[in-house]
Chain A
Amino acid sequence: MKLNLSPAPHVHTNQSTRTLMRNVLIALLPCAVAGVGFFGFNALMVLVVSTFSAVAAEYLWQAATRQKVRVGDLSAAVTGLILGLNLPATAPLWMVAIGSAFAVVIVKGLFGGLGDNFVNPALAARAMLLASWPQYMTRWYAPAGLAAVDAVTTATPLSNPGGFTTLQLILGSIPGSVGEVCKIAILLGFAWMLYTKTVTWRIPVVMVASTAVFSLAFGNNPLTAVLSGGLLFGAVFMATDYATCPMTAVGQIVYAALAGLLVAVIRKFSDYPEGVTYAILLMNVASPVIDHFITRRVYGHGKEAKNG
């Protein structure tokens, strides 16, 4: 009989990066389907290009720097798909590809790869694209189904509050980024991630609630604030990035509440109509500080540390 000696933990889970990322991809599917349904072939091309260029960039980067090629863990595919879902369907495809490469190589690869990025790669890429080519990042058209090719440019609910009914905001028949419009699809994805324990409820629920509360405090309709723009999508799929959110439950609640406050503040007081991107990026950067002040009590060490 062979005796295996190994350090704890002895109980293994069959969860790997690949299964986690596969669950996120499955959770993103409803949003992708809804986005393509609303915005047509353009949206499909944006999603395909963003996903494939992210995977290609990851492969090329890891091969060029002589690392083990890990595109099989699907993390680059998730980053690319999330970026695509964050873009308007009118986005030129070369810009989509640059965004994906930027996310994977500069935001993730240069900082050490998966888990070492200090901000969410897809969001940082979105911010970069918005700063670089604002003219292509703010062309929205009203959903017109698969037939839409030359649709009319129009304002999103954030620039035109009151122009859309609550039912429209929930179903997603509004102008906006490919993945953010259909709230039902986002909630379906959230339910799948909760069911598979990919994420916990804390960050999305607290962030959305915080935005609602502070929007109300600033005199805006909280329901419209929650259903407009990329808040739900960002709270469910991007604020929850493992590498860039605090580790403890209390820390995550603080992080999400502050992110919600920032969303409301940026939307109300800045020149930008939407604040979800910058709110989450800022809280990503603040996460190490939160982790510094709110630490997990190490089993068997807590009281000693307090007395000492």
Chain B
Amino acid sequence: MAKWNDSPLFRLALAACAALVAATNAVNGLTLGLATGCVLVLSGAVAALLDNFIADEKGRVVLFMVISAVFAGIAQMIVKAVCGGTAAALGIYLPMIAVNCLLLARPADENGVGPAVSDGVKQALGFICLVTLLGALRELMDVGTVFGAQVLPKGLQLTAMAALPAGGLLLLGLLAGLANLIKPKRSGKEDEAA
């Protein structure tokens, strides 16, 4: 089950490269998050459906990658059709959702479609929120807007570094550190699950 400690961006630092390079503004972050999240949920569900037909652990990973690649291809086409500019901004990181380590990190041993989907949805929602937050903060610091809406006085640039991968990494590290401060207390139930 998805727990705080499985939080992809903040705790596991998965999918960080795509988030750091591509999520330079809120729209890019949200698009990347939605595309990754949909692929995550759908490929998890299909993999769980096919789980009974394949017992070999190595074969399972290969199968899972093929499924992810199919859904990532579909996601890429949809993003290109709906918002071509954002697709161009995301660049190589859009097709690379197929090999996103966030997807590969999903446990292939979920029992049944139901748990696989609920787990995938939680992971996807967490990732979408965090990557959008990261993108929005970087957009705010770089050009003073959020989702294109002017927030800071026009022409005020807090720091140009926020749009660079280095600035994204710094910001992600600081956010993850802050998130650690508000880490919820572990309940006994969670410990059992772990």
Contacts and interface: CB of A to CB of B under 8 A. Distances in A.
A131 B167 contact: yes
Interface stretch (B42-50, B123-131, B156-164): B156-164
B160 A133 contact: yes
A131 B160 contact: yes
Contacts of B177: 110
A134 B157 CA distance: 12
Interface centre among B161, B166, B167, B177 (most CB of A within 10 A): B161
- How many A residues are at the interface, by size bracket? under 10
Interface centre among A128, A131, A133, A134 (most CB of B within 10 A): A131
Contacts of A106: 170, 174
Contacts, number: 17
Interface in A31-84: none
A133 B159 contact: yes
Interface residues of B, number: 9
Contacts of A248: none
A132 interface: yes
A93 B65 CA distance: 53
A132 B160 contact: yes
Interface string B146-168: 00000000000001110010110
B127 to A, nearest CB: 25
B170 A134 contact: no
A106 B166 CA distance: 14
Nearest to B159: A132
Contacts of B164: 131
A106 B171 CA distance: 11
B152 to A, nearest CB: 15
Interface in B86-131: none
Contacts of B160: 131-134
Contact of B166 (A110, A131, A133, A134): A131
Interface in A198-250: none
Interface in A117-160: 128, 131-134
B144 to A, nearest CB: 14
A133 B158 CA distance: 9
B143 to A, nearest CB: 14
Contacts of A134: 160
B30 to A, nearest CB: 25
Contacts of B174: 106
Contacts of B167: 131-132
Interface string A90-128: 000000000000000010001000000000000000001
Interface of A: 106, 110, 128, 131-134
7 contacts: A106-B174, A110-B177, A128-B170, A131-B160, A131-B161, A132-B161, A133-B160
Given A106-B170, A128-B161, 11 more contacts: A106-B174, A110-B177, A128-B170, A131-B161, A131-B164, A131-B166, A131-B167, A132-B160, A132-B161, A132-B167, A133-B160
* Smallest CB-CB A-B distances: 4 pairs: A132-B159, A131-B161, A132-B161, A132-B160
